Amino acid sequence: AQSVTQPDIHITVSEGASLELRCNYSYGATPYLFWYVQSPGQGLQLLLKYFSGDTLVQGIKGFEAEFKRSQSSFNLRKPSVHWSDAAEYFCAVGASSGYALNFGKGTSLLVTP
Amino acid sequence: SQTIHQWPATLVQPVGSPLSLECTVEGTSNPNLYWYRQAAGRGLQLLFYSVGIGQISSEVPQNLSASRPQDRQFILSSKKLLLSDSGFYLCAWSQGSGNTIYFGEGSWLTVV
């Protein structure tokens, strides 16, 4: 079965600084990988996804993620963080033949002035 | 376009009382439907998923049950709530296998 690890529970960055959120997955075949963002008290919004093809994936709100098979990673990046990016970020993994996704425990992002 | 709605948004229930959370999807047919629970610091836990009317798969043994009486309706229930049932419950849907899952707004349940 597939699983996801997000090593960082909390991350604090200054507004305007670059951001990288880590995600490592465990899955025997080629995974389907996702990043979601959750603002307090709300549902999850899809930022981006990787199914196949180009390993650098562009998403909404200026985010991108890179799939690295050799490292079993799918890290999320943004070159310049805005205060509105403060939220909880979840990495998730799925299978082409499966239905539900397995989520990491999330990384809480705090943006300081 | 597809939309998903769940209600109520907030619920405070006493221990031992019943529960019913409802979720509906519009703009698609035969979706896969899911109930996830989110507890503080524990990420999202898949509770149930359904690939069709009357077809329910349970991922964890618990005090809750799910039903799918119509194609685009998914209900989460309990006969007697426990304190440990408190949390944020998210309904979601997807189309086919291996596809993106889209989430509803969530329902806060506090059991007192």
Please report the DSSP string for A35-77 in residue order. Answer: EEEE-TTS-EEEEEEE-SS-SEEE-GGG-EEEEEGGGTEEEEE
Query: Which of A44, A99, A101 is facing B51, going by the closest CB pair?
Result: A99
A94 touches B at CB < 8 Å: yes
- In chain A, the number of structural domains is 1
Q: What is the mean pLDDT of each run of 10 residues along chain A (113 residues)?
A: 90 97 89 93 92 93 96 97 96 82 93 95
d(CA B8, CA B108) in angstroms, rounded, equals: 8
CATH number at residue A29: 2.60.40.10
pLDDT of residue B40: 73
Contact B98 A32 (CB under 8 A): yes
A108: three-class secondary structure by DSSP: strand
Cβ B100–A34 below 8 Å, yes or no? yes
Sign of the C-alpha dihedral, residues B79, B84, B89, B91?
negative
Residue B85: Cβ within 10 Å count? 19
Residues of chain B contacting residue A90, judged by C-beta atoms under 8 Å apart: 43-44
Q: Which domain holds residue A43?
A: 3-112
Query: Looking at residue B60, what is its pLDDT?
Result: 79
**Residue ranges of chain B with pLDDT lower than 50?**
none
Phi first, then psi, for residue A83 (nearest 5°) are -55, -30
pLDDT at A29: 78
Name the residue facing A95 among B44, B90, B98 (closest C-beta). B98
pLDDT for the residue A69: 92
Q: Which residue has the tokens 């009317």?
A: B53
The pLDDT score that the predictor gives to residue B41 is 67
**Domain at B3-7+14-106, CATH homologous superfamily:** Immunoglobulins (2.60.40.10)
In chain B, residues 19-48 whose CB comes closer than 8 Å to chain A: 32, 34, 36, 41-44, 46
Distance separating alpha carbons of residues A98 and B18, to the nearest angstrom = 32
* 8 Å CB contact between B91 and B4: yes
Q: Does A68 touch chain B (CB under 8 A)?
A: no
Between A and B, how many residue pairs show a Cβ–Cβ distance under 8 A? Answer: 57
Quote the CA–CA distance of B106 and B35 in Å, as a whole number: 10
Q: What is the pLDDT of residue A99?
A: 76
